[in-house]
Chains A and B, each alone.
Chain A
Amino acid sequence: MKEVIAVVRMNMMNRTKQALTDAGIDGFFAHEAQGRGVGLVNPHVLQGAASGYEEAVALLGEKGKLYPKRVVSVVVPDKAVGAVVKTLIEVNQTGKPGDGKIFVLPVSDAVRVRTAESGEKSII
């Protein structure tokens, strides 16, 4: 089993939920987060500064600002990982910096609390 953790844009959540449902992933876990990536320059600020807005010029020096994000976490069987990652990339891709990251982590076991089933049976 693998855990797929995706950090995505806030406004993509509804589409991501729908796409995961369509792909046959019914259960997942999501929470709010703030984050920053490796891109140190905000393209909007740069564009504003190039157009000559004083507010944007004043913001040019700042780094390390955190942007609101959503985190989606799904635990899936090994063979479904590729499909889930593909779905998440297809839905969330705009091609601009800030689309997010997807991490795939190994999970040693999962247990369904209601029936105490463990292993892959508990997540299907």
Chain B
Amino acid sequence: MIMVRAIVRPEKADDVLAALMDAGFPAVTKFSVAGRGKQRGIKIGEVTCDEIPKTMLMSVVKNADRDFVVETIMNAARSGKKGAFGDGKIFICPVDEVYTVSSGVCETATPEEA
């Protein structure tokens, strides 16, 4: 399985959550974060803001769903048709094991599930 972590605009987070729900990926964890990107924050005159509020969405999905999930998040989080600076990033990393606490079951125990 893989962990998809998407950093998106806070105002777009609800759109992304709704899109993921419609696409059949209800399980998501949401964090409030602050950060800056390649553009070194926002510069207005002499003032620079380099702690721009963002929302991080974390979801663990099967390897096979990777492209679909990334595309879903991308389409929902992009502002306008072409997108703009500050729309965010998506990071993907491998997950070795997934456990459900309530049942104690290891979900990656069967190889075809991974």
Contact = CB atoms under 8 A, between A and B. Distances in A.
A20 B28 CA distance: 25
B70 interface: no
Given A98-B102, A99-B102, A104 B96 contact: yes
Looking at chain B's contact residues, is the secondary structure mostly helix, strand, loop, or mixed?
strand
Interface residues of A, number: 37
Interface string B94-108: 111111111110000
Contacts of A64: 17-18, 21, 26
Contacts of A105: 3, 93-96
Interface in A9-34: 31-34
A37 B100 CA distance: 10
Interface string A63-78: 1101001010000000
Given A105-B3, A105-B94, A99 B100 contact: yes
A53 interface: no
Contacts, number: 85
B69 interface: no
B97 A85 contact: yes
B21 A85 contact: no
Contacts of B30: 33-35, 66
A103 B3 CA distance: 9
Interface stretch (A44-52, A86-94, A109-117): A86-94
B101 A36 contact: no
Contacts of B3: 103, 105
A79 interface: no
B29 A106 contact: no
A31 B31 contact: yes
Interface of A: 2, 6-8, 31-38, 40, 63-64, 66, 69, 71, 81, 85, 88-89, 92-106
